[in-house]
Chains A and B, each alone.
Chain A
């Protein structure tokens, strides 16, 4: 055989092997990260071992089906937030055929029209990949030409829209809201974050409290006096949550000691927390800290099913099937995997409720600041310590200021909400970010005026300094809204 023939044979065999490997990885199982067509965006990088979480369409589906199925998977995680945001460009609004003319411009029926994954070269904040001036596609002609319907916008270029508007969430930016909140002082006379005050003031009924004598646990567990002391001083003990409530959740609170010992779990899972803190655990799985526990994440593929689809024998020995299996996706996030700056001595254990709250002390004050700073090491976090917000937090913690006057990391990033009379904490740390104007209504406006809030959040340097100082940026939205509501020639 000539040298060329050998090379040709090796090349053909190599190509066939490579194609075979790719087909097996795509259709049967295995670690597919080497096949990624580009780096995933922040947060989504946590799901790289679980392609089907996003790519739910069957292999070789037509492009329309693939796009439609992809869209549904976006909704799995993001739809609730968009509904809450009263989405200004909701998908359902654009599904009407009367919007067909817009489909050819920016097809708002599909998330991927503006958010393309695996394209780090064109990806901006909030995973936006569409051109900065994309608003021009629909708001520059006819009745929708914003430059003719809003004299204040005459001469503005379309790459500046995002300076005042958001595509989805404009709850703090719509015209009537701006007018209603015009003229407010930068700081309100009695600045208190109302829901934080209510939350911190809440105490369980005294009769529900249990002491060390009222809880059952194996002797070995009770031998750790530090753990017992932490629990005894916690809100759990005050609310009647015993050792067995978490470590033996299937045993009745007054169950016999032997049952508690038999059912004892050393490290209870998040599902135990969910029994009482349903809203907190649900929202935890919507944010970057807990998204690997989202219920809609795809399970690893079954290699046998893939082989059957290829018309191959799926009754292979277990060892071979196991070698073809998808690697098990991690069930928790770790600080070391974060793309934000993290401390080198950040905790290495998987992120769960206990990481921030301490499983036994369940200290919400610790979770509100110290727990964040144990991992995060960016300029904004570093600048918090010594900032005006931090000073207020210290005063409140020292009992020198009223509840709700202090501002912790959690005040802004774990936003409180109230539903059916109960204050809960949204554990999706991203819910008040991206864009940060989402924070204005549930947080900033309790203490600050709208104009000051808009300016402060638009000043990236001030954000980086954790709001130490005054904003050097001015957003003109309120003045423009006032001009339209009370035009100078209206004689008012």
Chain B
């Protein structure tokens, strides 16, 4: 497995990864380990937002709603939107890595698989409930691509997907794989 220096990845990943990067040796860290770490950070952030902000304020406290049109509705952004906004912010800052939240059954079709490897990885995540690693070439650049199964951990996620008029799947249950987190790193 080729290696990539973590020094290039330190920017934008926050203090936790920066500390890890500092500790890494010059030989670099294997790609899967890097994508695993990125996944831990972005996944943890979304879980915290889902449980401590969205679920607490919308379900437990009934203080505010969460909505796809959160600005018009003066509501909280959905956890998936929070995740995507973070991904877009990272994409605006660096090309050293990118991540996205995709599904074989997306509400918005642009979040369906867009490459053969995404299709393969999302299917693997759905069938086996485990992560998937691969390599692909996009726009003339070789990428290490990892896909992590994304589980339905919240009633809010399940209800929204099952009830949305554009959802191709309406039988999602808690614990099901709804899609996958796809993380890419350009390979040297």
Contacts and interface: CB of A to CB of B under 8 A. Distances in A.
Contact of A98 (B92, B165, B182): B182
A98 B114 contact: yes
Contacts of A176: 68-69
Nearest to A485: B165
Contacts of A95: 91-92, 95, 98
A93 B109 contact: no
A97 B143 contact: yes
A401 interface: no
A96 B98 contact: yes
A149 B141 CA distance: 32
Given A144-B109, A144-B110, A97 B88 contact: no
B184 interface: yes
B75 to A, nearest CB: 13
Interface string A386-423: 00000000000000000000000000000000000000
B48 interface: no
Contact of B92 (A92, A143, A485): A92
Interface string A446-459: 00000000000000
Contacts of A96: 87, 91, 98, 100, 184
Nearest to A100: B139
Contacts, number: 52
A149 B106 CA distance: 14
Contacts of A480: none
Interface of chain B: mostly helix, strand, loop or mixed: mixed
Interface residues of B, number: 26
18 contacts: A90-B88, A92-B88, A92-B89, A92-B91, A95-B91, A95-B92, A96-B100, A96-B184, A97-B98, A97-B139, A97-B186, A98-B98, A98-B100, A98-B182, A100-B139, A101-B114, A103-B139, A149-B109
Contacts of B92: 91-92, 95
Given A103-B139, A177-B72, A98 B91 contact: no
A131 interface: no
A99 interface: yes
Interface string B87-116: 111011001001010000000011010110
A411 to B, nearest CB: 22
Contact of B138 (A100, A149, A177): A100
Contacts of B88: 90, 92-93
A231 B144 CA distance: 68
